[in-house]
Amino acid sequence: MLKNFFTLAIRNLLKRKLYSFINIFGLAIGVAVCLVILKYVEFELSYDNYHTNAPNVYRTTTSSYRAGEYRGTGVISGYAQGPSLLSDIPEVKRYIRTHPMYGGAVVSYKRDSGDPSTFHEEQMQFVDSTFLDVFTCTALEGDLNTALDKPASVVITKKMAEKYFKKGEEPLGKILKVSGGWADGEYEVTAVINDVPGNSHFLFEFLFPIHNLLLNGQYKQDNGWGWNNFVTYVELHAHTNAQQVEAKLPAFIDKYQGKDLAESNSKNVLKLQPIRDIHLNPGLDFESSATVSVNTIYFFLVIAIFVMTIAWINYINLSTARAMERAREVGIKKSVGAHRRQLIYQFIFESVLVNFIGVVIATLMAIGLLPLLGELVGKNLVFDFGDYRFWAVLTSLFLFGSLVSGLYPAIVLSSFNITEVLKGKSERAKGGFSLRKVLVVFQFASSLVLIAGTFAIYRQMMFMKNQDKGLTMDQMLVVNGPSVVEQNTVRERLKSLKNQLKELPGVLNVATSASIPGAGHNWGTGMRRDGTQQEESKDGKIVWIDPDFIDTYGITLLAGKKFDPTISSGMRAVLINEAALKTFGLGTAEEAIEKRMIIGGDTTEILGVLKNYHWASLKTEHTPWLFKADTISGKYYTIHINSANMQTTVAKIESLYKEAFPGNPFDYYFLDDFFNSQYKGEQQFGKVFSLFSMLAIVIACLGLWGLASFTTAQKLKEIGIRKVLGASVGSIMSLLSWQFFKLVLIASVIAIPLTWYGISVWLGGFAFRIGLQWDLFVVPVLILSIIALGTVSLQIFRGANINPAKILRTE
C-alpha cells in the first residue's frame, strides 16, 4: 500500500511540475525562515547560560528617587557595596566588582627586535580576583586560580594573544605596557583564555586587577559610596531565595547611605538582577552591552508564525483548488471499492512527501541563510546539528506541517460523491472556495502587516538620521587624542597640533573636547539654581569643551556669550541648553544669563544659553546639558573638513598627528557614522524584519500565482462564452481581478488596526518619532494591491487571450 501511495504521489507531483514546485518551494522557504528565526531567538535567550554558576549570580541595580520623583534605574555603584554585602548579608557567598577602562587605553608590546605592536583598545575591564571563580572562562594558558592575584598582572583573550604576539611566541610572562588609561603601567600576561562567547552580556579582551585602580586617582580618598563607577555582582549560596535577600536590602541601604540620602530628600532601591535576565532588560542607565527587548523576540516569533502559516495556506489553497482536476480520480477509485479512509491516507501521504522534500530543501536553505542573518545582527550564528533541540524542532515542523496542510485537502477530496463527479456535475469542492477566500485574506493581511512594519521602521530610521540635531554632523572628522604622552609637555603639544591643523587647506575649523555627540558625558551630578534647597536638586550632564567648540559644531547661541580664553571669569562659567531653563526654573534664555548654578557643591555663573541639541540618541528626551570650559582637551579632536580632496586632507592630518605624538595610533572616524551607531540595534532589527517580510511576501505571491492560474483555468468556459458574446480582454481581466482585489480590501480592513497598534507600540520607545500619518497605512495597501494584481494579472491575461473556439468546441 505504501509503495502504491508513493508511486501515485510521485506521479501526481511530476504531472503538475509547476504547482508541485510552488508547493515544495513555498514550504521550503517557510520552514527555512522558521528555523533561522528560531535559532536567532534561541541565541538571544541563551545569554549567560554558559556560566556554571549562572543560577546563583546576580547583578545589583539601583533605582533612584528624589523628592518622590523616579529618576531612573542604573547598574553602577560604589566600590564599597560588594564588600559590605558580603559582610552584612549571610546569603552572599562572593562579590565581584568590575570597572571599565572608560575611553580605553593604548596597549603596546615591545619585542627584542622590530617595531612594537601598538593599538588603542576599548574592551578592557578592572575586576576582582574572584571574577574568574564566578564567571566561567576557559584557560588556554596559565592558572586562572592565581592569574589576577598580583597587582601588575593581566589576563588576555585568545584574540588579543594572536594580535600582539607572533605565531609560536609564548604570551605568558610577556609585558604589555598600558598608557592613557585609568591605571597606566606595565602588566605581565599571566593567563590566556578563550574569546568571550557572543552570548555574554559582559564583553572584554583584557582583565586587570581592580587593586591598582583603588589605590590611585579619585578613589584613593573616597569612602566607597561617593563615586558610582563600579558594577557589582554577587554570588549567593546555592538554594538561596533571592527575594528573601532583597527584603534585607532596604535596611542595608539605610545603614550605609541613609543619612546622605535623607539630606538630599532622596531614596535608593537596591535590587538583585539575575545575570541571565540582563540581556532581555533594556533601558537601564549605564548599561555597557547591547540588550534586546522581549517584544523584539516576540516580533520575530510572530514573523516565523506568519511565514510558516502562509506557506501551509499555499498548500491548502492549491490542493483544494485542484479538487475538480482530481475529482474523477476519486470517483473512479470509489467505484472500484476504495474506502474514504484509504483516500484520506493517500492524500495525507502526498502531503507528507511534499513536506519531507520541502524540509530537506529548507535545511539546506537555512544553512545558507543563517550566516546572512548573523551578518545583519552582528552575531555568529551556527546550527548545532548535535543538539537534539534542532532535530526536535525540524521534526515537529515536518509532522505538524504534514498534518495541518494535508488533512483538510484530504477530507475535501475524499468526500466527493461518486455519481456526481463521474457525471461531471461537481463544479468545486463543497466549502473549499469559501475557505480559500478566508485563507487568502489571512495571507494578504499578514503581508500587509509586514509591509507596513517595514515601511514604518525605514521611515523612523530616516527620520532619526535626517532630523536636525542642532549641531553640525557632516564632514566632521573625529580623531582620538593621544594616550602615550609626556605629561609636562602635553598641553603645549595639544595646542600646537590644533593650530597646525587649522592651517591645513581643506580644514574649516578645529575643536577639542572631553566627549563628542553620541559618546556620553564626562560628569553626571546633581545641580540646582542658586537660592533653592538641596532637595530640589536635579540631575544634569556636563562635558568639557574648548572655546572653539561652539563655532566648530555650529550650535546656536540664544543668549549670552561663548567661552573666551581672554576672559578668565567666563572660562569658569557654564553654558546651558534650553532643557536646563525649564528644569531649574531659570526663566527665559535672557533671564538666565549671569544667574548662578550650584553644581556638585560648587557655585557657577551661567555665561550663555544654547538652543537644544541632540547630544544623545533621539530615543531620549532633551535633558539638562552643560558645557564647562577647558583651554585645550586631549580626548578628542573634531576637525570640520571640506568634502573636496578629503583623502589628501586626512593623510595630512595623520602626518601632523604622528609627528606631534609618536607612538600613538591614529584612530579617526566621521561623527555622523559614530552618532548613528547608537541606532545599530534598530537598524539591525529593520534589516532582519525587511528580509523576512520580503520572504513572506514571496511565498504569498507564489501561492497567489498558482491559485490565480487554477481559478482562471476553472473559468475558461465562462471566459470563452463572454468573448463570443463580445466581451473585451480588458473587461474580462477587470472582472476576474476584482475577485482578488476584494480580498485585498477585506484584508486591509483587518490589518490596518493591527498595524496601527503594533507601530504605535514600537514607536513608543523613541522620544522623537514620526507621526502615524495616513500614508503609513495607505502606501502599504497600494503596494500590496500592485503586488497581488500584478501576480494574478499575468495568468488572467493568458486565459483571457485564449481562442474561445478551442475552449467551446466540445460543447
Buried b (16+ CB within 10 A) or exposed e, 99-133: bbbebbbbbbbeeeeeeeebebbebbbbbbbbbbb
Q: Most confidently modeled of 25-34, 239-248, 659-668? A: 239-248
Residue 177 bridge partners (DSSP): 108, 186
Tell me, yes or no, whether 624 lies in a domain.
Answer: yes
Give CA–CA dist 532/608, Å, rounded. Answer: 21
Residue-wise pLDDT tens digits, 398-409: 888 778 766 766
| Average pLDDT for 625-642 | 92
Tell me, yes or no, whether 760 lies in a domain.
Answer: no
On the question of pLDDT at 281 being above 90, the answer is: no
Tell me, yes or no, whether 145 lies in a domain.
Answer: yes
In the chain, the percentage of residues whose pLDDT exceeds 90 is 31
Supply the pLDDT for residue 425: 52
104: left (phi over 0), alpha (psi -120 to 50) or beta: left
Predicted confidence band of residue 427 (pLDDT cuts 50, 70, 90): very low
177 against 706, higher pLDDT: 177
> Where would I find the beta strands (DSSP E) of 396-488?
476-480
Tell me, yes or no, whether 212 lies in a domain.
Answer: yes
On the question of pLDDT at 724 being above 90, the answer is: no
On the question of pLDDT at 428 being above 50, the answer is: no
Give CA–CA dist 569/418, Å, rounded. Answer: 102
Question: Do 430 and 415 touch, CB atoms closer than 8 A?
Answer: yes
Predicted confidence band of residue 332 (pLDDT cuts 50, 70, 90): low
Tell me, yes or no, whether 650 lies in a domain.
Answer: yes
On the question of pLDDT at 424 being above 60, the answer is: no
Count the residues in the chain. 811
| Average pLDDT for 593-618 | 89
Question: Do 379 and 688 touch, CB atoms closer than 8 A?
Answer: no
On the question of pLDDT at 426 being above 60, the answer is: no
Tell me, yes or no, whether 517 lies in a domain.
Answer: yes
Supply the pLDDT for residue 809: 62
Q: What is the dihedral of CA 422, 428, 429, 432, to 10 degrees?
A: 170
On the question of pLDDT at 430 being above 70, the answer is: no
Predicted confidence band of residue 420 (pLDDT cuts 50, 70, 90): low
739 against 277, higher pLDDT: 277
Tell me, yes or no, whether 322 lies in a domain.
Answer: no
The residue from 264, 281, 309 where one domain ends is 264
On the question of pLDDT at 285 being above 80, the answer is: yes
Looking at 195-204, 253-262, 321-330, which range is the least confident one?
321-330
Alpha helices in 189-337 (DSSP H): 210-214, 242-246, 249-263, 294-321, 323-335
Buried b (16+ CB within 10 A) or exposed e, 180-193: bbbbeeebebbbbb
Residue-wise pLDDT tens digits, 438-454: 877 887 888 888 888 88
Structurally, the chain folds into a number of domains equal to: 2
Tell me, yes or no, whether 631 lies in a domain.
Answer: yes
On the question of pLDDT at 6 being above 70, the answer is: no
Q: Are strands 153-157 and 57-66 parallel, antiparallel or unpaired?
A: unpaired
Q: Is 280 exposed, middle or buried (0-12, 13-18, 19+ CB in 10 A)?
A: middle
How many C-beta atoms lie closer than 10 Å to residue 430's C-beta?
Answer: 13
Q: How many H-runs (helices) and E-runs (strands) does the chain carry?
A: 26, 24
Residue-wise pLDDT tens digits, 146-171: 999 888 999 999 999 999 988 888 99
State the sign of the Cα–Cα–Cα–Cα dihedral 223, 225, 229, 234.
Answer: positive
Determine the residue type at 105: A
Residue-wise pLDDT tens digits, 58-113: 999 999 887 777 888 999 999 999 999 999 999 999 999 999 998 888 899 887 66
pTM: 0.78
The residue from 203, 230, 264 where one domain ends is 264
In terms of residue numbers, what domain contains 552? 485-662
| Average pLDDT for 661-669 | 87
The residue from 264, 287, 316 where one domain ends is 264
Buried b (16+ CB within 10 A) or exposed e, 345-376: bbbbbbbbbbbebbbebbbebbeebbeebbeb
